[in-house]
């Protein structure tokens, strides 16, 4: 009996310390922090350009309607639609309605030199002084007009690019007039651009989409937009001693590929661009890729 008691005592004496050591090792392993795989990038100095597009319609650089000086009935046009006409050239005839009196037809003349667009008039149709019978435009250069939000401010001479979808082409031009005042109702600035049209392939009335640089920040810290998180207050996660550290930043303008960082980072920092939505401040990370 005493022998068995001695054996049990010996087992306990040896086993308990071993169990304690095993439990401590298990607890230590349980407390070991998991690392989160991430992709990072290095901030770069560069320029960020913000480009916006606006819808517009093409107009001739000098474009005007043609009216009859007196009312009457339409007789005929003397030119074809789309034809080039001269200043003071007769483009149509109308007749006066005076019962019992024969009068020669009255000519209607073009006020400027340009390409003419005729109204659809039939013989004998009434012609009123307030309704145009044609439109003439100079199209060696053409205009586009659009409105820019007041947070931007464009000026004469700024570059524009105009896309004409029906031609499947883009044309370079510049701003020839920028309103000095903003529209008090729409809070916009009226802009008029001009495009060379030496081949006269751009026709007044065509739909156009205008692309213009509305803002630019030069020689600033830049990041891909996906690196910045937050809707109102903006943050990034940067790497410090193997951990993700949440850092507030002040951002500037952005484009599709870059955002300007005005405050909060330097070129020496390393910033998360993948994994930034699953880490927390001070999370241990494992850098899988640098982009």
* pLDDT for 255: 86
26: tokens are 């298990």
Overall size of the chain counted in residues: 291
Element containing residue 216 per DSSP (H, E): strand 207-223
How far from 90 is each of 102, 103, 131, CA to CA, in Å?
Answer: 21, 18, 18
* pLDDT for 227: 92
CA nearest neighbour of 43 among 256, 284, 260: 260
β-strand pairing of 44-57 with 84-85 = unpaired
Q: Print burial letters for 127-164: b (CB count within 10 Å at least 16), e (below 16).
A: beeeeebbbbbbbebbbbbbbbeeebebeeeeebbbeb
DSSP string across 141-208: EEEEEEEEETTS---TT-EEEEEETTTTEEEEEEEEEE-SS--TTT-EEEEEEEEE-TT--S-TT-EE
> In terms of pTM, does the model score above 0.95?
no
- Sort 16 into a burial class: Cβ within 10 Å, 0-12 / 13-18 / 19+: exposed
Give the C-alpha separation, 36 to 274, whole Å.
11
How far from 180 is each of 61, 193, 194, 211, CA to CA, in Å?
Answer: 21, 15, 18, 21
How far from 190 is each of 14, 123, 216, CA to CA, in Å?
Answer: 91, 41, 20
CA nearest neighbour of 56 among 156, 140, 164: 164
**Mean pLDDT, contiguous 10-residue spans, the chain (291 residues):** 54 54 53 78 92 92 90 92 92 81 84 91 89 91 92 90 94 93 90 92 92 91 92 91 92 90 91 90 86 81
Give the C-alpha separation, 115 to 49, whole Å.
38
**pLDDT, tens digit, 9 for 90 and up, residues 195-241:** 999 888 998 989 999 999 988 899 999 999 999 998 889 999 999 98
* pLDDT for 25: 58
193: tokens are 């651009």
* pLDDT for 152: 86
DSSP state at residue 42: -
Residue 15 three-state SS: helix
């Amino acid at each position: 009996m005493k022998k068995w008691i001695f054996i049990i005592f010996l087992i306990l004496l040896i086993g308990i310390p071993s169990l304690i050591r095993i439990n401590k090792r298990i607890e230590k392993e349980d407390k070991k922090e998991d690392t989160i795989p991430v992709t990072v990038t290095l901030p770069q100095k560069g320029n960020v350009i913000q480009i916006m597009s606006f819808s517009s319609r093409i107009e001739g650089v000098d474009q005007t309607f043609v009216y009859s000086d007196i009312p009457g009935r339409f007789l005929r046009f003397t030119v074809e639609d789309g034809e080039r006409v001269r200043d003071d050239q007769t483009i149509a005839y109308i007749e006066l309605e005076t019962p019992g009196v024969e009068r020669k037809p009255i000519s209607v003349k073009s006020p400027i030199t340009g390409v003419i667009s005729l109204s659809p008039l039939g013989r004998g149709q009434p012609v009123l002084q307030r309704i145009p019978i044609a439109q003439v435009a100079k199209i060696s250069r053409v205009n586009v007009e659009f409105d820019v939000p007041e947070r931007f401010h464009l000026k004469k001479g700024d570059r524009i690019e105009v896309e004409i979808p029906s031609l499947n082409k883009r044309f370079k031009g510049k701003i020839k007039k920028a309103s000095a005042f903003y529209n008090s109702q729409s809070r916009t600035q009226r802009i008029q651009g001009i495009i060379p049209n030496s081949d006269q392939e751009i026709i007044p009335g065509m739909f156009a989409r205008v692309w213009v640089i509305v803002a630019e920040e030069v020689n600033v810290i830049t990041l891909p937009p996906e690196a910045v998180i937050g809707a109102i207050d903006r943050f990034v996660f940067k790497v410090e001693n193997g951990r993700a550290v949440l850092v507030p930043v002040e951002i500037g303008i952005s484009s599709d590929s870059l955002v300007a960082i005005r405050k909060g980072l330097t070129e020496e920092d390393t910033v998360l661009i993948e994994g930034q939505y699953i880490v927390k401040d001070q999370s241990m990370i494992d850098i899988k890729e640098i982009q």
